[in-house]
Amino acid sequence: VDFKTQDWSRSTKIIDGLTTDLNLAASNQMSFGLQLSPKDLSEGENLFQRSSYQLGMRVEDSYLSLRNTQIRDEAFTAGISIPLVASKSASQIHFGMEIGTRGTTDEQLIEENYLNIYVGVSLSPWYRNIWFRERKYD
């Protein structure tokens, strides 16, 4: 669980000596996530038991305030981390997805739906890998 807040409501900008109000609001963001790992990387009998599964949710009231309406962003996230089968290390490949909606149609504003897809790799050396050991002689 994570909560973040920032107060932008008193922000101003000085242009050519004139102070302008930016019509920004206080932003709040709440995030919640879970991770399930059925077995440890070294204990799992098959790939599904050694993988990790993630689920999450995020709700944010943005600092943008247009036509007296604060922009809201809501998203659900899911992911899976799969160990590299041929490696004896803790190296993994990660797949993630975020689906959400931002904005509103109130006050003739725009609402958008989005889908983000993530792919990543984490490389962790095995303790017996020769390249990782410090050499005693040059």
**55 and 33 Cβ atoms separated by less than 8 Å:** yes
pLDDT of residue 68: 81
Give dist(CA 29, CA 72) in Å, integer: 10
Give dist(CA 56, CA 11) in Å, integer: 32
Per-residue pLDDT tens, the chain, 138 aa: give them: 999 999 888 777 777 777 766 778 889 999 999 999 887 766 667 788 888 999 999 999 988 888 888 889 999 999 999 988 766 677 889 999 999 999 888 888 889 999 999 999 988 776 665 665 666 776
